[in-house]
Amino acid sequence: MRPVAIVGIGKTPFGAFQDRDLRSLGVEAGQKCLENAGARPSRVEAFYLGNFAGPSFVGQNHLAPYIAGAMGIEGVPATRLEAACASGGSAFFHAFSSVAAGLYDVVLVTGVEKMTSQPTPRVSEILAGAGDLAGEIKAGATFAALFAMIARRHMHQYGTTREQMAAVAVKNHANAFKNPYAHMRKLITLEQALAGKPIAEPLTIYDCSLISDGAASVLLAPLERAAEFAGKPVLVAGIAQTSGPVALDEREDITTFAAVRKAAEKAYRMAGVTAAEIQFAELHDCFTIAEIMAMEDVGFVKPGEGGPYVQQGATALGGARPVNASGGLKAKGHPVGATGVAQVCDVVEQIRGAAGERQVRNHDLGLAQNLGGSGASAVVTILRAAR
């Protein structure tokens, strides 16, 4: 395994774009990324596409050559990877692995989703496909309902409060307000968050991430060849993808995601760092309770301490360890297949010191955590400034 660097990134804005189709979003992110890296499409030796449900959202399938071809990338392996909401992270993981193992030198990863062309009930139905249709979904659950049950149990077991969950939303909205690529740039107060329209008790509309369109791309190369590219290189120090049971009722404990814990352990070991050393992170806040659990599962705090940690301001932009400086899935937006790749782009921007108004103070070592469904897939990535 040789060291691998990110040598280029590219993102589209996240939002609801009636005039944009899925392919054009993927192509825009890919082209911006190649431009950022100063690389021609012909240099790309393999293409990995993260996409959750393009065929269900817009009908189009066979998306990897469809998007690659439109960028002028042909004749190479072009493959779509799906791991529910961790599809982007999984595409990045497999792309990284292929470069680390020496299969290829220059690999492009794109994550993309186009969700807003469907009405919300249909979007919920498509998202439910990431759960156990034959079990929990058949019984009437939506993903909001699954995470509501998780939140209830976390509240019961650890005393986590609605105010602590709302504090995640307030913080992430404040961060997205400073992010020109964010879907929702609107400041909210704790009172507003608590008084939000109920979705699945105890979750209000402000506890739920957004339905968005968008794409993000990353170009990978061996660290020893990073100087050939224009983008300031960032080292992939550690990474792991893991899996667990899809159905919530197959878990012993729903206040923690075993797949995330295991992925984090593996990534820390690979990077040779501890959770305590991580300076900032992009965590998978599909619901506010998920950000609280993620902080616990990646080891930033002990189980049950996630709520107080956010409430104390530790994870604010100016706090001891900023979480979701981008605005997170909650306010930056959550175009499912794009999310895991966008998280990596956002950590890279921070490490490069190029995050503008949302730049964090200490930015040498960052973490991205991408979750699939209610925890059946997880990807954890640790990025470090290339010395």
Please, which residue, 3 or 129, has the CB nearer to its own copies? Answer: 129
Strands 46-50 and 107-114: parallel
Residue in 94, 173, 183, 334 annotated catalytic: 334
Site string for its own copies, 3-42 (x = CB under 8 A): ------------------x-x-------------------
Answer yes or no: are the C-beta atoms of 3 and 99 closer than 8 Å: no
CA distances from 344 to 9, 22, 215, 220 (A): 9, 21, 12, 12
Residue 330 near its own copies by CB under 8 A: no
The only residue of 7, 36, 52, 333 in contact with its own copies, by rule CB under 8 A: 52
Task: With contacts defined by CB under 8 A, name the span among 30-38, 81-89, 269-277, 311-319 that binds its own copies.
Answer: 81-89
Active-site residue flag, 334:
yes
Active-site residue flag, 208:
no
List CB contacts of 21: < 8 A, sequence separation 6 or more. 58, 114
Whose tokens are 């792991």? That residue is: 240
Instruction: Report the residue count for the chain.
Output: 387
Residue 111 near its own copies by CB under 8 A: no
Written as six digits, the tokens of 67 are 């998007």
- In this structure, the dihedral spanned by the alpha carbons of residues 61, 115, 49 and 223, taken in order and rounded to 10 degrees, is 170
Site string for its own copies, 256-295 (x = CB under 8 A): --xx--x---------------------------------
List CB contacts of 267: < 8 A, sequence separation 6 or more. 238, 239, 240, 367, 380, 381, 382
What number of CA atoms fall less than 13 Å from residue 50's CA on the CB side? 38
Residues 350 to 379: which contact its own copies by CB under 8 A? 372-373, 376-377
Answer yes or no: are the C-beta atoms of 114 and 212 closer than 8 Å: no
Residue 56 near its own copies by CB under 8 A: yes
Cα angle 199-200-203, degrees, rounded to a multiple of 5 = 80
Task: With contacts defined by CB under 8 A, name the span among 82-90, 175-183, 211-219, 228-236 that binds its own copies.
Answer: 82-90
CB of 97 to its own copies, least distance (A): 5
The only residue of 76, 149, 270, 386 in contact with its own copies, by rule CB under 8 A: 76
Residue 68 near its own copies by CB under 8 A: yes
Answer yes or no: are the C-beta atoms of 8 and 231 closer than 8 Å: yes
Residue 75 near its own copies by CB under 8 A: yes
**3-state SS assignment for residue 216:** strand
Please, which residue, 98 or 212, has the CB nearer to its own copies? Answer: 98
Query: In one letter, which amino acid is 385?
Result: A
Number of chain residues interacting with its own copies (CB under 8 A): 62
Residues classed as catalytic: 85, 334
Residues in the site for its own copies, rule: CB under 8 A? Answer: 21, 23, 47, 52-53, 55-56, 58-66, 68-69, 73-84, 90, 93-94, 97-98, 100-103, 125-126, 129-134, 240-246, 250, 258-259, 262, 372-373, 376-377
